[in-house]
A and B are shown apart, each in its own frame.
Chain A
Amino acid sequence: MPDPVLSYALPVLLLAAFPFIGGLLRGIDRKITAHMQSRIGPPVLQPFYDVIKLWGKKPFITSQFQPVLAFGYLGFSLMAAAILVFRLDLLLLLFTVATADVCLVAASFNSKSPYSHIGGMRELLSVLSYEPVMIMSIISIYFATRSFLVGGIFSLAYPLLLLLPGVFVAMGFVLIVEMKKSPFDISASMHAHQEIVRGVFTEFSGYTMAMVELGHWVKMMLILSIMAYFWAPNLLIGVGLALLLFFVSLVVDNIYPRLTWQRMLKTTWTFGFTLILANLVALFLLGGV
């Protein structure tokens, strides 16, 4: 008989905390980025101010479908997070994340703005660049644990990282693309120094933008949590590892300019696939399976 607190109450609490921790991380991200550029930077709570303000602004809705899709983005992201914290199927998680992305892209195509269209096109390309890497990672996790369930990771006696270090690094690429950080921020960016500034987010305003922003935080937290699970026996170390990669992605963001989509696909696919395949071959040869 599983403990009800551990199997229900804790995941629900964690799920509720997801957007808050995500927002805090975004604030820390902006603060660290500012310090790297020898600026003082906004307060750590800045992302929350932004979202609350957006919520209070009068929205410009370009089509009736747009708020539904914005809500879908947030909803499916939260659903994927729920699948993770309740330790269900990793494949299901993947499909839910993909559905969230489809909502965002569909919303960006749901207007006549050419900026929004370019952003949507590029968002599709980012999905194309990280989704295969994520699928391969999850298949590798299957080979290591013989299960597609998140619970399988926890039933291992030793951390997943020792079996799949290459996959962990490949997930780093997924994180950078997912966080829309340079050099992979082709679809949208926070700062007006890029050629297409808001990209996919062009047509969102008011509460729809707030929902998309929240969804973005949840998705970032999702990837970071998967990374934390790479050290499942002691989750504190896992969280430390995830935060380390978070920091690495900020450093990468500050030292690289934006790449073209061709370079992005090449980079994520060659590095991601090579790392994962090398890892799998090593796993088979060493008889770890």
Chain B
Amino acid sequence: MDIMNKARVKSPWVLHFNCGSCNGCDIEILAALAPRFDVERFGIINIGNPKQADVLLVTGPANRRNFRVLKNLYDQMPETKVVIVVGSCGSTGGVFYNCPNVLGGVDKVVPVDVYVPGCAARPEQIIDGFILGLQKLAEKGKKKVEGR
């Protein structure tokens, strides 16, 4: 099953969800996709479809308005999957901490594997977060094989 895990790490398809961020981190994510940082060289594609995605990339804090959407998207992603949160506000609430409409970090709603701090997080940091996320993906893949 080694080939399967290698393929899993080599081809993470991303679903990017903006959960009410200020768009600062989204711009950095787009910068990571653009020619200068070009994350497609690691096989990363912004696929825009939860059913085919492996990585849920969330920016922005969990809030009362759309936490159901976040939960729904997470549930629609088939195993094996990891969740990466980009930005301080997604990690803890950040500048939106204690706002009446904000629940807090994304981990209040879905289990988070990797936090990328920063307001806004730099593309280099996002790529580092991805590499950590891929290690977790490989671990989950191994567990899945042993669990069978």
Contacts and interface: CB of A to CB of B under 8 A. Distances in A.
Is the pairing of A and B real? yes
Interface of A: 30, 34, 37-43, 46, 48-50, 52-60, 190-192, 197-198, 201-206, 209
Contacts of A40: 38, 41
B38 A57 contact: no
Contacts of B3: 52
B76 A60 contact: yes
B24 interface: no
Contact of B79 (A49, A57, A202, A204): A57
B80 interface: yes
Contacts of B11: 46, 49-50, 53
15 contacts: A34-B38, A43-B10, A53-B7, A53-B11, A56-B7, A58-B79, A191-B46, A192-B16, A192-B48, A197-B48, A198-B52, A201-B52, A203-B51, A205-B52, A205-B78
B41 A41 contact: yes
**Pairs A-B, 8 closest by C-beta atoms:** A52-B7, A192-B48, A205-B51, A197-B48, A49-B10, A39-B38, A53-B7, A49-B11
Given A39-B35, A40-B38, A49-B11, A204 B52 contact: yes
Contacts of A190: 45
Interface of B: 3-4, 6-8, 10-11, 13, 16, 35, 38, 40-43, 45-49, 51-52, 54, 76, 78-80, 141
A58 B76 CA distance: 11
Given A57-B78, A57-B80, A59-B78, A42 B43 contact: yes
B38 A46 contact: no
Contacts of A60: 51, 76, 78
A49 B51 CA distance: 17
Contacts of B35: 37-39
Given A34-B38, A58-B78, A52 B46 contact: no
A27 B21 CA distance: 35
B5 to A, nearest CB: 8
Contacts of A204: 51-52
Given A40-B41, A41-B38, 13 more contacts: A40-B38, A42-B41, A43-B10, A49-B6, A49-B11, A50-B7, A53-B8, A53-B11, A56-B4, A57-B79, A192-B46, A197-B47, A204-B51
A55 B8 CA distance: 10
A46 B47 contact: no
A56 B12 CA distance: 13
B45 A39 contact: no
A188 to B, nearest CB: 10
B51 to A, nearest CB: 4
A164 to B, nearest CB: 38
A40 B141 CA distance: 28
Given A49-B10, A58-B78, A42 B49 contact: no
Contacts of B16: 192
A38 B38 CA distance: 9
B49 A198 contact: yes
A261 to B, nearest CB: 21
A274 B4 CA distance: 49
Contacts of A39: 35, 38, 40-41
